[in-house]
Each structure stands twice: as C-alpha cells, then as structure tokens.
Structure 1
C-alpha cells in the first residue's frame, strides 16, 4: 500500500508484544462491562464535578480485555461482533459516558487497521492491543472550513521516512493513549497539501508530539478531548496506512464509528432515567393536588416516567438492530448491504440524539425542585447528552433516511454518516 520506492520495513521486525489481556466471549464481555459500569456509576458524580481524569479507570478497562474484543481471531483476539461491542458501549456509557467515550477512537482505529493494514502492520499493532495498549485519535482540526477539511500533512524526507506536522483538536483518547493515529495528507514535494489521506501511527511520547489537556466542554468533561500538536514528527512507511482507500468501495467504516456514538447516547439516556426514578422513589415530595403519600404514586409522574421508558426502550431496540445490520453487511459486503447498515445507524442516531437530551431534561420535571441542586450534579446527564449529541447533526441522518424513502437514494459513502 506504500507509494514510496523505499523498501517496506514491516513492524513485525520490531517485535510483537506478548499478549497479556484476557480473550473474552460475548457473554463475558457483557458481564465484565456491567461490573465496570457499576464501579463507574458509583464515582461518576465526583469525577464529573471535580474533573478527575479517568486514568485508573482506563487502566482497569485495558486490563479487563474489553479494549481487545475486536482484534481478529487470527491475531489472537476475540473477534466479537459489532452487536456485542455496541452493547458493551451502551452499558459502560450508562456507568459514565465520559469514560466510555475515551476508547471510541481506539475501536475505530482498530477497525481501520483491519481494513487497510499490511499483514506486518496488523501483526504489530494488534499485538500492541493484545498487550493492553490503547489507541487515541488526532483526526479533526479546529478552524478549518468543515470537519473533512484536513491540513495536517506528511512530507517526504527520503529513505521511507516522512515528517508529520499539524494541529488537531477534539483529540479524545490521545492524552491516555500509547499510540495516536493521525489523519494527514501524504504529500509529494511538488504538490503539498493535496496528497491522499493516510493515517500516521505515532507513539504518544514521540519527539515533536505534544498533547494538551485543554478541553473545557460543559459536558463529557473528563474525556480530555484536547489538542495534539505535531511538529516535524518522524514517521516511517511501516507506521503509515491509507485512509482514502477505505471509501473506494462499499464500506461499513462510517457506520461502525457512528453506531458506537449512538450507544453512548442510549447509555446516557438510560442512566438519566435510572437516576430520575431513584430520586422520585427516595427523595421527591408529592404535589399536594395529587392526593398521594409518595411522589412515586403521582399519576402524572408515573405517566412521564413511563413515556421516558418507552423512548429509551425504542432507542435501545434500534441500537440492537443497527449493530446486527452492520454485522450482516460485514458478512456480505455489497453496495446495498453497506447502505442498509448506514441507514440503520442513521435511524438510531437520529432517535438517540433526541431521546438522550429529552430524558436528561425531563429528569428535573419528574424529580422536582431539589433535583436541580448543584451539589447533586444530576445535571451532568443533560450536559453530557447535549455535548455528545453535537458530534454531528442528527438532522442530516433524517435527511438521508428521507431521501432513501422518497427516491431510493443511498446515503453518502463517507465516514461521517
């Protein structure tokens, strides 16, 4: 896949790390996720309130084997399906969506390596994952015309070596990563800024790499989605994989990334509903006109909670369907099956974006005045929902679905759907 005339230096020659994490079955992965989510939920309030970055929690995730569940079986991994991974993400997000979002890019770039890595690259990088290493992300840029406008570039030095320079924002996972995949144009000296997009795999501590924890979002506060600065970072051919080729034909790369975002939304919604019901059951006072002893017996409150449950269950059902549809497309990848996967994911993202914001807001409606106390930090659910759902516009998901319904127009073949 390299276009340079220099000989390929496979990462396998650098040595593959010995596997240290357990290989989990689907049932085991879900059970482990539930255990970790319970631990996360018990401390999520304080972590968000005090902005305590989740370094110990991510060490726990790595050691559990959950971050290795999509490594191919031929590379020693569990090779679990997307439906299972989506459920793992949903469960973790119900515990703490900030912690759950940190490994999102890890799984996206494990997927990228599956699609475009050479056998030697796969042996090395999947070996890193099986040894508990984490991938971050340096993809989006701040201040460009739009999300797919990338200025970061690899320029040739010679002898299979390149120089990487640029600045990335929203780099979720980079601060906690062992490797940072960087999206960049692979240029020629004659045509800077125009080369095809590639992924440069850079060590977190490489010379010229600076990761700054300057994320100050109102929600998802502990994702550390800050800035990555790259100044003349040396990269070899064996640490570069093509990105543009991913979209040369039918693909589920975009749907895979997006369905994990949907799982985060749905997890936030479930957590908000869980905490709303608990507050009503244990703390809220009944409204006098209801004529009941407990707020939990107020028919208006019960009705509202019931409607919230309907909405969350609908989102959970669409999430499961989307995961299965992506798996079906991966098993028999065609233009039609890839489109079906993208549309299924668009449907759940459109619903999950609305439901998680609405449920996190209605929490206060059913729980009452005291639930708005800053010390209780129940507003973290709404802040997390509102912040995460800004990732990309849900309205465009509805547009793609509508155009398909009206004219049979397939969704666009890119990574943002």
Structure 2
C-alpha cells in the first residue's frame, strides 16, 4: 500500500535483527483473527502475550549482559507497527510490559537489574503505573507523597490507565520521596486494588485505575535517580502504535472502496477520483509520519540528545495520521462501518487513543511551538 522501506535503509532495523520482525509478522497473523472479539468482550489477549514471550521477543529487548540481545529501538518500533496493525491492544500491552521492565532494569541497582531481567526471562508480567488521576501529562512528576515507614515508604493514592494490571507480577510506580520523584518496583499485594475503566478504544488492554491503599514501596525495590535522561521503549514506541493502526485503517478503507458499488454508476467506489485524491494524501502523510518515527528510533539507538525532541514530533505526527485515515475509512464504509459488528468502528475507536496517551498531542504541540517561537535563552 505504502512504499516499503528497503532492507538496507539506514533508518530500518539492523540486518542482524530483521528476523525478529519476521517473528512478529508470523505471530501477528494469528493475533488478527481474535482482535475484534477481544475488543467486544474487553478480554485481555493473554495468549498473544504468551506467544510473544515464547517467541523470544521479551528477552531480546534486554541488554546482552543480562541475557538479552539489546534489540534496537528501530527493530522494536518495526515490531510494534506489525503487532498494532494486527491487534493494537496486544501491541500496547507488550509496549507497556517491556517499557516497565526496561525502566526497572535500567534504573535499578546491578542486583535489582539482574532480578528484574531474570523475572522477564521467566515470563513474569510487568505493568507501567506512573500516571496519576490529576497528573495529566506530568506522569514523570508525581504529586502523591510516599511517607517513610520501616522497610520503605507507604503510599496511598492511585495510578490510572494501567494496561494489563490484573495479570502484572511487577509494577513500575513513582512517588514523591523527600520532595523528589522516585521510581520503585512494586509486587502487588492485598493493598493494591483495581477499579475498571471501560475505555472507548484499545478495550482489550483493560487499562484500569490501580488503587494503592497504604501500599509499602520497599526500600530494596527503590531505583536510584538517573543522572542523565535516557531513551526508553515507551517514549520511542508510542508513535509506532498509531502507525500500525493507520496501516490497518488504510487497508480496510481500500478493501471497502473496491467492494462497494455506487448505484448511480454501477462502478466501484474506488474509481471515484475524489476518493483517489484523498487516499493519495493519506498515503503521503502516512509515509512521512513513518519516516519521522524511523528517524526518532535511529536517534534513540545512538543515545542522542536529539531523541526526546524527535519523539515529541513523531508521536503527534503518527497520532494525527492514524485518526485522519480512520475517519476516512469510516466515511468510505458508510452506515455499514458504523455498526458494532464492523471492524471499522473498532479501528476508528482505537485510532483515537494515541492522541490522548501521554504525552498528548496538545502537550507535544505546546512544547514544540514554545521552543520555536520563544527567543533563544528566554525562560518560560
């Protein structure tokens, strides 16, 4: 549909990692068969997550010194796009899973890093629990205070939109400790509760509100502060979720356009020039968004200081094109695409989620616009 990236393109997955994209592609073919049913019932695609682990993708994301293959951000992005095209909820769950594990491995002491790496290799589940109900986009700047107690810090509060929380063995959480944002690994106990939040899109992620009711954050699970911000899978991966959704929206749009016949002409809707123009515009925008995401992943692989500004551009660019192509897909599907049994309505709902996930499009636009407009050296 869009122009494929040549295997030897410098922004694509490294040659020695392309087999992982093939693994994801083979698995995704099976995932797609259950996507709509899992969405309808809001059922966690546990079988898909187990298949990804059994295929070696979880472990491959770990550093080599901890038993992994130090899979590049470029490859992780390509894998996420393939998964999201087949089942966006599975892709989102996997991203949050490896992102939380990465955070605990990267920010932990050597002993903690080894422990969490072994847990990931063993098939334990991880969940990312950073966003607070009143925190908005400031998920790295918690407002909830953890008070000192024997053996750690006690936290009463909540984290929202925690994907896969019900099957998580470990959470990556944060809280204010002595006035400073601090990361912890948390193994849920009876003080951790789940309040369902039936989301509009990505329903199979079962992204619930997690209540922390006097939960003790153990001192030996505390992650020391990172001296320098580092790229991470979640920041680098969110754009790829939207790219995969956009791919499926475009494919579905074309299939409907070829199959729908206009009563006035007796010819397929695909023959209409105005639609051909709209589709051409969608293809061009999708290819442009993909290149921005590829560039961002390439910068992450080089641990470049330009990664974060690039990620703040890649995400809204992909979010917008996914939402717009899904809207066009709904228009092409017409009334038949608006009924609950149609995959179009699910694609349309899933396409909205990337826009809202932190950092939201509005947050990214504000950050980019402020940097461009403000005079050099001018303080906010």
TM beyond 0.5: yes
RMSD, aligned α-carbons = 2.5
Structure 2 counterparts to residues 155-304 of structure 1, below 5 A: 155-158=147-150, 160-187=151-178, 194=179, 196-204=180-188, 206-212=189-195, 214-242=196-224, 245-246=225-226, 248-253=227-232, 256-281=233-258, 283-286=259-262, 288=264, 291=265, 293-304=267-278
Give distance in 1, aligned partners of 2:136 and 2:275: 46
Give distance in 2, aligned partners of 1:146 and 1:130: 31
Query: Would you say 1:386 and 2:352 are equivalent positions?
Result: yes
Tell me the secondary structure at the aligned position of residue 198 of structure 1.
Answer: strand
Work out which of the residue numbers 299, 304, 310 in structure 1 matches 2:284.
Answer: 310
Give distance in 2, aligned partners of 1:397 and 1:143: 19
Give distance in 2, aligned partners of 1:220 and 1:314: 25
Residue 217 of structure 1: how far off its partner (Å): 1.4
Partner of 1:140: 131
User: For the Cα contact (< 8 Å) 1:135–1:177, is it kept in 2?
Assistant: yes
Give distance in 1, aligned partners of 2:209 and 2:361: 25
Give distance in 2, aligned partners of 1:65 and 1:132: 10
| Pair 157,346 (structure 1): closer, same or farther in 2 beyond 3 Å | closer
Give distance in 1, aligned partners of 2:267 and 2:156: 65
Residue 164 of structure 1: how far off its partner (Å): 3.6
CA deviations over 1:84-129 (Å, ceiling 9, x no partner) = 1111111111111112111322232233234321111111111111
Give distance in 2, aligned partners of 1:319 and 1:235: 36
Residue 170 of structure 1: how far off its partner (Å): 1.3
Residue 305 of structure 1: how far off its partner (Å): 2.0
CA deviations over 1:125-146 (Å, ceiling 9, x no partner) = 1111111222102211114576
Tell me the secondary structure at the aligned position of residue 128 of structure 1.
Answer: helix
User: For the Cα contact (< 8 Å) 2:106–2:113, is it kept in 1?
Assistant: no
Tell me the secondary structure at the aligned position of residue 379 of structure 1.
Answer: helix
Work out which of the residue numbers 297, 315, 321 in structure 2 matches 1:349.
Answer: 315
Give distance in 2, aligned partners of 1:146 and 1:368: 35
Residue 268 of structure 1: how far off its partner (Å): 0.9
Q: TM-score, normalised by structure 1?
A: 0.79
User: For the Cα contact (< 8 Å) 1:136–1:175, is it kept in 2?
Assistant: no
Aligned length: 362
| Pair 90,179 (structure 1): closer, same or farther in 2 beyond 3 Å | same
Give distance in 2, aligned partners of 1:233 and 1:370: 48
**Greater Cα offset, 302-311 or 270-279:** 302-311
Tell me the secondary structure at the aligned position of residue 204 of structure 2.
Answer: coil
| Pair 307,405 (structure 1): closer, same or farther in 2 beyond 3 Å | same
Give distance in 1, aligned partners of 2:50 and 2:239: 24
User: For the Cα contact (< 8 Å) 2:59–2:67, is it kept in 1?
Assistant: no
| Pair 28,177 (structure 1): closer, same or farther in 2 beyond 3 Å | farther
Residue 168 of structure 1: how far off its partner (Å): 1.6
Tell me the secondary structure at the aligned position of residue 227 of structure 1.
Answer: strand
CA deviations over 1:37-85 (Å, ceiling 9, x no partner) = 2222222122212322222222222222222222110011011111111
Tell me the secondary structure at the aligned position of residue 215 of structure 2.
Answer: strand
| Pair 393,162 (structure 1): closer, same or farther in 2 beyond 3 Å | closer
